[in-house]
């Protein structure tokens, strides 16, 4: 963000203790936000045998400024078909990604 002092108020204004305005320039860099979706089939190994499931989800990737690292966050949900009943899976996942050049 780029700040400068001005005597006139603008659209986005932060007040400074010296009764001057701190104006945020409109062409300042904004963070990227990448929306992702995915889905597919899965195989879960739990007590009683392997089970089949269908999972769909979505999330976003938050890039870290000036770095090749990013933080993905996702919420997948779906069904796991067990032998006695159907189980609903809701998870919150996150991590750290590194992008190669």
| Rounded CA separation 14/10 (Å) | 9
**Residue 86 scores a pLDDT above 90:** no
- 38 & 77 share domain: yes
- 20 & 42 share domain: no
β-bridge partners, 53: 42, 80
- 45 & 63 share domain: yes
Question: 73 versus 2: which is more confidently predicted?
Answer: 73
pLDDT at 67: 86
From 79, 75, 35, select the one nearest 57 (Cα to Cα).
75
From 62, 88, 94, select the one nearest 75 (Cα to Cα).
94
For 57, the domain range is: 31-101
Question: 23 versus 100: which is more confidently predicted?
Answer: 100
- 23 & 45 share domain: no
- 2 & 47 share domain: no
pLDDT at 1: 41
Predicted model pTM: 0.54
Q: What total number of domains does the chain contain?
A: 2
pLDDT tens digits for range 17-69: 555 555 555 555 555 678 889 899 988 888 888 889 999 999 998 888 788 89
From 26, 29, 100, 28, select the one nearest 69 (Cα to Cα).
100
């Amino acid at each position: 963000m780029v700040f400068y002092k001005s005597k006139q108020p603008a659209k986005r204004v932060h007040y400074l203790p010296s009764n001057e305005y701190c104006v945020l320039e409109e062409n300042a860099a904004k963070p990227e936000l990448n929306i992702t979706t995915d889905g597919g089939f899965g195989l879960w190994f739990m007590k009683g045998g392997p089970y089949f499931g269908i999972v769909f989800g979505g999330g976003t990737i938050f890039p870290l400024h000036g770095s090749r690292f990013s933080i993905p966050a996702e919420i997948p949900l779906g069904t796991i078909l067990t032998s006695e009943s159907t189980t609903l899976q809701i998870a919150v996942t996150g991590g750290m990604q590194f992008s190669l050049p």
